[in-house]
Structure 1
Amino acid sequence: MASRAIKSRANIKKKHPSTAVIAVAAVIFAFIVSLCWGVWSVGSSWLSDLPDYKSADAYNTAQPTVVYASDGQTVLAEFQLENRDPVEINEISDYALKGTVATEDERFYSHGAIDPWGIGRALVNNLMGGDLEGASTITQQFVRNTILSSEMDDISIKRKVREAYISIKLEEQYSKDNILLMYLNTINYGSGAYGIEAASERYFSKHASELTIAEAATLVGIPQSPTYNNPINYPENCTKRRNVVLDRMLSNGVITQEEHDAAQAEPLVLNPTEPSTTGIEAYPYFTSYVRDQLTNANGKYAYSKDELFKGGLKVYTTLDVSMQEAAEAAAREKEQAAGDNYEVAMVAIDPDNGYIKALVGGKDYDASQVNMATGTGGSGRQAGSSFKTFTLVAAIEQGIDPNTMIDASATAKLPGWEVANINHTNYGTKSIADAFAVSSNTAFARLILSIGPDKVVDVAKRMGITSPLTATGSLTLGSESVTPLEMANAYATIANGGTHYDPECVERIVDRNGSIVVDNSAPKGERAISAEVAHAATEVMKGVITKGTGKAAALSNGQVSAGKTGTSENYMDSWFCGITPQLSVAIWFGDRSDYSHAQRVPSGMSAASTFPDFMNVVLKGKPTEDFPKAGDPQYKSDFKDTQYHIGGYYSSADDEDKDKDKKTDESSTTENGTNAGNHHGTTGDGGNGTTGGTGGTGGDSGGGTTGGTGGGDSGGGTTGGTGGDSGGGTGGGSGGTTEPVPIE
């Protein structure tokens, strides 16, 4: 029986699926595969052009560039497009940390990058007519605000998919605490404040670590709508939102009921801080110069606006705060003594590397952002006789010994040019070194024409002058406009023994990742003049301070120094450029107005005295140093240029004075009479006479008949002669008109 049953089952015919069923199944399978393939293809295309989310820089949005003084502590500026100040998580109030999680994503630490439960809850709540509720996690919000910020306004599924994908990848790479910190350092809190620290400073003038419960809740509530929850512009909206945050902090156990009630009862009290509109916080003339150097498209740094204002750089400058303070104090002292119209600009450079240690560009940066120290926004000023230094160096390079004699008489009639010493002083025949010390215009006019103005231009350019220069004789008298920065830099070439370094305001730059991207700690200089020439020039320049026009620049601590004074035509600019082995300093003093409106430098005042006012402070307590030593240059033996009265004896001050006396005697009419009216008026500061010549005494014809020939303000002789047979004559006539004062 059993075998028969088995046999019967064996004879049963098997049923197979019909062709139609197979076809339908195949179509369904193909549809599913196609759908999956389509979804995969679309999804792949949406994810094909994602930003580089694996790099930390992708999430580091705009960060300020901070500029420091050389001490690495003093902040000079924060350049930024967004007011942002990233902090570490331990620098944020616990109320702000937990309040943010309670308000924005209460399950943040328990779900992944995406919160399906949160999405469902928000969907139900929104469909039931409750308050509109978002479903994005803190991670998603962070991705949206940083790496996908350009797609923030896109509400398409594509953007949601991209956001979710990057969020998942982000949580694979960073901890929850790190993501929360990055979120709090980047979110918009209104009023230009990005990040919790910037918001704390903006609204409460305190650090994020110091926030109270009410203050933390105020800030936590702002990002939902930075405009309408702004505590400054919409305090009522802000207070309502703050109280919602406090409710959520209570329900999530962040605060107690008592703390909740007390915080809600507090009025909204702000202590706002207005952010700087320029980003500059200290020493604006120097700091603005640094900014301009960093962004100069043709300069060595050439940072774009985005790189500087968003890049999160740390710029460590060369500025020495103590020297800067001393420079500003010395400048203020001079300005206060001179009056409202006068200003001081000065630059101090380290000769050993070109570092700018101090820079004063004027009296008031807010009133005028024209930087008189650098020429930024304007131009330089005529340097007067401080430019004679380049003629001196060029002459030494040509083999002319500074001990060579030269004609330094009162006037010099040269081809196409007549030059006079200041106050028409006659120095007679002097050595070039002595003529430099007393700043004889006639001597150096002869010297530049003898060696060739082009040689002086070449020397000045090699030493650091960058302003345009014209190769004419008047160049030695400082007829061209230059800046204190150029002059300090050029004189530094002499101070260090002949090596030129470009002026440098930046020591190093560190990027947002902590890597040094610019290192100027060991700048390379170029040999501009020989050590022998630099030494010889320095020895001559010492005489300006010890026996010449720069006696007021002498230092009190015994430190050896050298330099050169300078005064432009009509005494509109006063200069002093001084060097020690430690510093090269150029000082300008005057009225910054254009020459047609500027006032002359006050009588009895010059830039020279500001040099010790500054240097005595910065060198106090420091050991004295000597300039670099070197042998003598190779001089020509017995150099002589008779055309320009160089080499040999040509005149003396005594001889010319005797000639004057002889003419005086010849014009007298009796033994008792003296010639009146022929002498200049007494000379005031800067060369303008104050009174004309006085009438003579005695003599048959009485006093002088004409006024003094000089430009005395009060005219000529004031009284006739007295005594004599015919009595006194009439007083002298009016003095001549004021003449331009020669450049010193």
Structure 2
Amino acid sequence: MKPRRKQREKRAHAGLWAIIIVLAGIGLVGYGCYQGVMSLIDDWCADLPSVQNTTAFDLPEQSTIYANDGTTVLAELYMEKREPVTIDQVSPYVLKGTVATEDERFYDHGGVDLQGIVRAVVVNLSGGQEGASTITQQYVRNTILSSEMNEISIKRKVREMTLAEEMEQIYSKDQILMMYLNTINYGDNCYGIQAAAKHYYSVNASDLTIAQAATLIGIPNSPTMYNPVVNPDNALDRRNVVLSRMLTNGVITQEEYDAAKAEDLNLNVQEETGTNGVYLYKYFTSYVRDQILETYDHEQVFQGGLQIVTTIDPEMQGYAEAAVQKQYDSGRLAASNQEFALTLVDPNTGFIKAMIGGKDYDADQYNIATSNSGTQTGSTFKAFTITDAIEKGINPQTTYMNCNGPVEVNGSKIYNYGKQNYGSLSIANMTAVSSNTGFIRLITDTSSGVTPESVKSVAERLGLDGDNLGTAPTITLGVYNANTTQMAGAYGTFAAGGVHRDPTGIMKVTDRSGNVLVDNTAGVEGKQVITDSVAYAVTQVLEGVIYNASYGTANAAALPSGQIAAGKTGTTDDWHDLWFVGYTPQLSCAVWTGSRDNSVQLETNTWCQEIWRDLISACLQGQPNEDFKSASAPNYNSAYKGSGKSEDEDEEKEKEKKEEEATEGTTEGTTEETPGETPGGTTGGAAGETPGGTTGETPGGTTGGGTTAPDPGSSSTPGSGTAGGSSGTDTAG
């Protein structure tokens, strides 16, 4: 029996060892599989970004443009409409309802819900439909793994679960929930609960009711299918599912559930009021947007969450719009397509305080106030010729120019407005009356030193675009182009004592993290481009345009408050453009009127002066009047004597004539015995040698001719006739 027992024991031991060997083999295979799986997982997750990276979860965030008060929203620039909020700015119904609907074990798991996975498998195998992704996983999928969102694979799921677990180790549950609520797609291009609340119900997320909260909670499951605007019936059914889960999880009571379920969707959709996200002051705001896009790329502007505070003053902008609208409503316009444009600038900071780029932005977005091509400036350009002359030592008060016409330049004849003749005028009075012929003589007389090239250089120093300026002698008459923003900035240089500041619409720019990218809060850095002496001398000349009763072409611009101002009118050939550019110590403003197609003929009118006067008066209302800061006189050392005769010289000449006539009369009287030798005697002698007397030396007689400057208030005063005065009419010829 012993041998048999030993055989049995041998067989038993052999079977045991076989089992051990099999199990060991299975273990080795399992271990190998485990190692392979872990190696595969490591390989899949090798390039995952770190959730500790603060930019890893940056989402597209709208940029906002504000007025200078930092609160008035002018525009929202976005690819995805999103407005992040904090947990205290969200209704508790949203917070608890989202957890009850999307991830009821959210506060219990570590990023991955194994029970949820098992439950989802059972439900799906039994013919139902249920997902197992936690709120953390959904957030990861919509942000850091958004490029893989539509990929259906085990690899993507493993990567998602790995990042979700890592997130849960770094962020609190409430932080993750708010990240999710600020990110998720709620349809209609709304991302985040705040954007959705404002869009669908015109309320903040903190003010959502139970029914409203449930409607929004239901949308992310399928943003198109459950969009309450597009598919209201589906949205209502989904809302009721959410309400049921809120009831089951104790978020709401039975009474609250019944009441909410009985409600309709009751949407109050917030309609878009702007154009491409631009809501207010559209010409100005689109100009700022375009300026920002020249500095930052499209993605940063439309997705980077920039906060852009502009220089626009809502109150002053309102005054500008009212002043312009008053003219539109006046019934005095020359044509239906006549428009106005203006730019109001603070010369001491460079800030654009108001801007109007045309009549209707929605009809035509071309901004006349900032256009690169600009429009002809007419006689407003003469201010730059005066500046050049004063810099060259020519005294505008004592240097006289022949202001009769015509003057021939390059085969063309230049006239004054209405072919008037003004005789000899000082450069100051020549400016006030805006004599074209006098300025042409000044810029073409080689002995003056004033040349087209030097005038162009002055204009460029004062901020005009040299690419739009030529060097023909008619540059002084404003045949080249500029826009109202450039002209307001240029004249603002005179107001600021010769310090030029490029006009800007941007005060401050910060990024989504609060880092300051642009800071102009103290104003644009200025540059002394002309001396304060020259600037003040120019201002004294341009004051005469407004206040010289005999010659001034802008009497209508005088401010009722008595605040001192200076400026210049401008008119172009055939009256296609009318301008007034004026300034006070506080503000500089350029106003233009015409038509976009250059077809309207405006004749003479004071539209621009009236707009300027009404706007500046409103802006400075209640403020004390200020004087321009005086400066010492420039060094008037030029040998240039002008092309006309001064009043003193004319008086002396007239005295000499009278003495000569008296002498001749005495001689004639002694030869009366031979009357036929001197035909005409006393009345036909010397007087007959000069037909028409002294008023006939220059055709025009009492309408501005003669070699003497007209006396103020006389019939020969250009300001009292069609040549100027308060009508502001001058032409570039």
* Band of TM-score, shorter chain: 0.7 to 0.9
CA distance in structure 2 between the partners assigned to 1:331 and 1:497 by the alignment: 29
Residue in 1 that maps onto 2:265: 268
Judged with a 3 Å threshold, the aligned counterparts in structure 2 of structure 1 residues 34 and 627 are, in CA distance, closer, same or farther, namely: farther
Q: Is 2:576–2:600's contact at 8 Å kept on the other side of the alignment?
A: yes
Of 44, 47, 56, the residue aligned with 1:46 is 44
Of 326, 334, 342, the residue aligned with 1:333 is 326
Q: Is 1:381–1:481's contact at 8 Å kept on the other side of the alignment?
A: yes
CA distance in structure 2 between the partners assigned to 1:524 and 1:66 by the alignment: 25
> How big is the alpha-carbon RMSD for the aligned residues of Structure 1 and Structure 2?
3.0
Residue in 1 that maps onto 2:474: 474
Judged with a 3 Å threshold, the aligned counterparts in structure 2 of structure 1 residues 35 and 269 are, in CA distance, closer, same or farther, namely: same
Q: Is 1:567–1:743's contact at 8 Å kept on the other side of the alignment?
A: yes
- Secondary structure at the counterpart of residue 575 of structure 1: strand
**1:138 has 2:131 as partner:** no
**1:426 has 2:421 as partner:** yes
CA distance in structure 2 between the partners assigned to 1:567 and 1:661 by the alignment: 23
Q: Is 2:424–2:645's contact at 8 Å kept on the other side of the alignment?
A: no
Q: Residues 76-115 of structure 1, C-alpha deviation per residue, up to 9 Å, x if partnerless?
A: 0000111212222222221111111110011111211111
Residue in 1 that maps onto 2:393: 399
**1:360 has 2:364 as partner:** no
Residue in 2 that maps onto 1:569: 573
Q: 1:498-577 maps to which residues of 2 (within 5 A)?
A: 498-522=498-522, 523-547=524-548, 548-577=552-581
Q: Is 1:407–1:646's contact at 8 Å kept on the other side of the alignment?
A: no
Residue in 2 that maps onto 1:236: 233
Q: Residues 448-471 of structure 1, C-alpha deviation per residue, up to 9 Å, x if partnerless?
A: 223110001111011100151000
- Secondary structure at the counterpart of residue 223 of structure 1: helix
Q: Residues 603-624 of structure 1, C-alpha deviation per residue, up to 9 Å, x if partnerless?
A: 5333112111001100011122
Of 373, 379, 385, the residue aligned with 1:385 is 379
Q: Residues 150-188 of structure 1, C-alpha deviation per residue, up to 9 Å, x if partnerless?
A: 110112222112211211222222211111111111111
Counterpart amino acid of residue 743 in structure 1: A
- Secondary structure at the counterpart of residue 66 of structure 1: strand
Residue in 2 that maps onto 1:152: 149
Judged with a 3 Å threshold, the aligned counterparts in structure 2 of structure 1 residues 622 and 457 are, in CA distance, closer, same or farther, namely: same
Residue in 2 that maps onto 1:290: 288
Structure in which a larger fraction of residues adopt helix: 2
CA distance in structure 2 between the partners assigned to 1:22 and 1:178 by the alignment: 52
CA distance in structure 2 between the partners assigned to 1:684 and 1:197 by the alignment: 65
Q: 1:14-93 maps to which residues of 2 (within 5 A)?
A: 34-93=32-91
Residue in 2 that maps onto 1:7: none
Judged with a 3 Å threshold, the aligned counterparts in structure 2 of structure 1 residues 659 and 242 are, in CA distance, closer, same or farther, namely: closer
Kindly state the Cα deviation for residue 70 of structure 1 after the two structures are TM-superposed.
0.7
Q: Is 1:494–1:538's contact at 8 Å kept on the other side of the alignment?
A: yes
CA distance in structure 2 between the partners assigned to 1:70 and 1:138 by the alignment: 40
Ranked by relative contact order (alpha carbons within 8 Å, sequence separation 6 or more), the top structure is: 2
Kindly state the Cα deviation for residue 52 of structure 1 after the two structures are TM-superposed.
4.4
Q: 1:86-165 maps to which residues of 2 (within 5 A)?
A: 86-130=84-128, 132-165=129-162
Q: 1:617-628 maps to which residues of 2 (within 5 A)?
A: 617-628=618-629
- Secondary structure at the counterpart of residue 355 of structure 2: strand
Q: Residues 663-687 of structure 1, C-alpha deviation per residue, up to 9 Å, x if partnerless?
A: 9xxxxxxxxxxxxxxxxxxx99799
Counterpart amino acid of residue 39 in structure 2: S
Q: Is 1:396–1:402's contact at 8 Å kept on the other side of the alignment?
A: yes
Residue in 1 that maps onto 2:310: 317
- Secondary structure at the counterpart of residue 413 of structure 1: strand
Q: Is 2:400–2:642's contact at 8 Å kept on the other side of the alignment?
A: no
- Secondary structure at the counterpart of residue 402 of structure 1: coil
Counterpart amino acid of residue 585 in structure 1: C
Q: Residues 526-564 of structure 1, C-alpha deviation per residue, up to 9 Å, x if partnerless?
A: 221122211111111111111111111111222211111
- Secondary structure at the counterpart of residue 637 of structure 2: coil
CA distance in structure 2 between the partners assigned to 1:59 and 1:79 by the alignment: 20
Q: Residues 351-386 of structure 1, C-alpha deviation per residue, up to 9 Å, x if partnerless?
A: 12211111111111111111111116xx32111100
Judged with a 3 Å threshold, the aligned counterparts in structure 2 of structure 1 residues 641 and 559 are, in CA distance, closer, same or farther, namely: closer
Tell me the TM-score normalized by structure 2. Answer: 0.83
CA distance in structure 2 between the partners assigned to 1:355 and 1:119 by the alignment: 61
Q: Is 2:357–2:370's contact at 8 Å kept on the other side of the alignment?
A: yes
Residue in 2 that maps onto 1:349: 345
CA distance in structure 2 between the partners assigned to 1:439 and 1:355 by the alignment: 30
CA distance in structure 1 between the partners assigned to 2:348 and 2:364 by the alignment: 32
Judged with a 3 Å threshold, the aligned counterparts in structure 2 of structure 1 residues 40 and 347 are, in CA distance, closer, same or farther, namely: same
Kindly state the Cα deviation for residue 626 of structure 1 after the two structures are TM-superposed.
2.5
Counterpart amino acid of residue 89 in structure 1: I
CA distance in structure 2 between the partners assigned to 1:277 and 1:327 by the alignment: 21
CA distance in structure 1 between the partners assigned to 2:80 and 2:722 by the alignment: 54
Counterpart amino acid of residue 389 in structure 1: A
- Secondary structure at the counterpart of residue 540 of structure 2: helix
- Secondary structure at the counterpart of residue 634 of structure 2: coil
Counterpart amino acid of residue 232 in structure 1: V
CA distance in structure 1 between the partners assigned to 2:508 and 2:730 by the alignment: 47
Counterpart amino acid of residue 360 in structure 2: D
Judged with a 3 Å threshold, the aligned counterparts in structure 2 of structure 1 residues 549 and 662 are, in CA distance, closer, same or farther, namely: closer
Judged with a 3 Å threshold, the aligned counterparts in structure 2 of structure 1 residues 122 and 426 are, in CA distance, closer, same or farther, namely: same
**1:179 has 2:176 as partner:** yes
Residue in 2 that maps onto 1:583: 587
Kindly state the Cα deviation for residue 657 of structure 1 after the two structures are TM-superposed.
5.3
Judged with a 3 Å threshold, the aligned counterparts in structure 2 of structure 1 residues 402 and 26 are, in CA distance, closer, same or farther, namely: farther
Question: What is the aligned-residue identity percentage?
Answer: 48
- Secondary structure at the counterpart of residue 465 of structure 1: coil
- Secondary structure at the counterpart of residue 108 of structure 1: coil
Of 353, 361, 366, the residue aligned with 1:370 is 366
- Secondary structure at the counterpart of residue 345 of structure 1: strand
Structure 1 gaps of 5+ residues are 1-14, 664-682, 688-739
Q: Is 1:638–1:647's contact at 8 Å kept on the other side of the alignment?
A: no
Kindly state the Cα deviation for residue 407 of structure 1 after the two structures are TM-superposed.
0.9
